[in-house]
């Protein structure tokens, strides 16, 4: 009986150890057929709180993940898709590709805690970045990379298919937006495990236009440097 009990305890220990090893506190690539659920919070003096974004990422394989995202910037709602994949590297040093495309629905009037009435046309933001990442023995990760980002309004997409379409139909004489803006980005971040499944990631993205750091509220991006706090839980 003691032998059976000891064997069961040993099996339980190895099962728990295997589960602990299975979760690698990776905020970008969940394990194969596993899910990461993240909550992103940022701060802005240009728009009222809350600025909260939630995303769910599914691991297609050990190297590739897809996901959906949704939330608010405080002044606009948003939802979109994301794609992360491993380009090259090992467990400790790797090169990652991350893609995100977000849609901002039309706003006409007030929104949440922003009591100022204004019109914002529906528009898209797309970002593709490449990150170099180093992982330490304590599972902390540090990343640094570059990328490209663009935004455009939904109505002006018609110009790509209909040359007679007027650029930017006016709405009550008030308008925000442009046909398409293309930026370059530099991003850096650090992530640290809070538990076996919970990871905290701090990231900052600097946005450049024509090789210069953009001015505050010069574009829809709002800020030249955008900090984010991301809590990621692995299922």
Q: Residue 3, Cβ neighbours under 10 Å: how many?
A: 7
Q: Are 16 and 206 in contact (CB under 8 A)?
A: no
Report residue 2: phi and psi, to 5°. -65, -35
What pLDDT score was predicted for residue 117?
Answer: 83
Task: Verify cis geometry, omega within 30 degrees of 0, for the bond prior to 129.
Answer: no
Taking the C-alpha atoms of residue 21 and residue 42, their distance in angstroms, rounded to an integer, is 31
CATH architecture of 26-234: Beta Barrel (2.40)
pLDDT along the chain (235 residues), means of 10: 48 42 82 93 70 93 95 88 95 95 88 80 91 94 95 69 54 49 92 94 93 76 82 94
Q: What is the DSSP letter of 81?
A: E
What is the token pair recorded at 214? 């953009």
Q: How many residues does the chain have?
A: 235
What pLDDT score was predicted for residue 118?
Answer: 82
What pLDDT score was predicted for residue 156?
Answer: 64
Nearest Cα to Cα of residue 32 among 73, 63, 78, 54: 63
What pLDDT score was predicted for residue 74?
Answer: 80
Task: Verify cis geometry, omega within 30 degrees of 0, for the bond prior to 42.
Answer: no
> Could you tell me which residues are beta bridge partners of residue 68?
56, 81
Q: What do you get for the CA distance between the two ends of the chain, in Å?
A: 36
Q: Are 209 and 216 in contact (CB under 8 A)?
A: no
Query: Domain limits of the chain?
Result: 26-234
Q: Look up the pTM and report it.
A: 0.77
Alpha helices (runs of H) in the chain, residue ranges in sequence order: 2-22
Triad 17, 134, 65: Cα angle to 5°: 70
Show the 3-state SS of 129-177.
EEEEEEECCCCCEEEEEEEEEEEEECHHHHHHCCCCCCCCCCECCECCC
What is the token pair recorded at 123? 């528009």
């Amino acid at each position: 009986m003691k032998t059976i009990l000891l064997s069961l305890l040993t099996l339980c220990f190895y099962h728990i150890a295997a589960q602990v090893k299975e979760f690698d506190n990776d905020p970008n690539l969940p394990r194969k057929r596993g899910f990461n659920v993240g909550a992103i919070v940022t701060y802005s003096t240009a728009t009222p709180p809350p600025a909260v974004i939630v995303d769910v990422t599914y691991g297609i394989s050990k190297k590739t993940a897809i996901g959906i995202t949704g939330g608010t910037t405080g002044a606009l709602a948003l939802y979109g898709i994301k794609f992360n994949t491993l380009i090259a590297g090992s467990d400790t040093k790797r090169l990652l590709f991350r893609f995100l495309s977000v849609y901002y629905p039309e706003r006409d009037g007030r929104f949440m805690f922003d009591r100022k009435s204004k019109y914002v046309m529906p528009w898209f933001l797309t970002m593709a970045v490449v990150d170099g990442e180093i992982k330490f023995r304590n599972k902390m990760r540090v990343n640094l990379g570059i990328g490209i980002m663009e935004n455009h309004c939904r109505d002006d997409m018609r110009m790509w298919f209909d040359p007679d379409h007027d650029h930017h139909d006016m709405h009550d004489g008030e308008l925000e937006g442009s046909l398409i803006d293309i930026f370059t980005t530099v991003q850096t971040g650090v992530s640290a495990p809070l538990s076996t499944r919970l990871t905290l990631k701090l990231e900052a993205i600097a946005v450049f236009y024509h090789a210069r750091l953009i001015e505050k509220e010069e574009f829809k991006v709002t800020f030249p440097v955008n900090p984010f706090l991301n809590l990621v839980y692995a299922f």
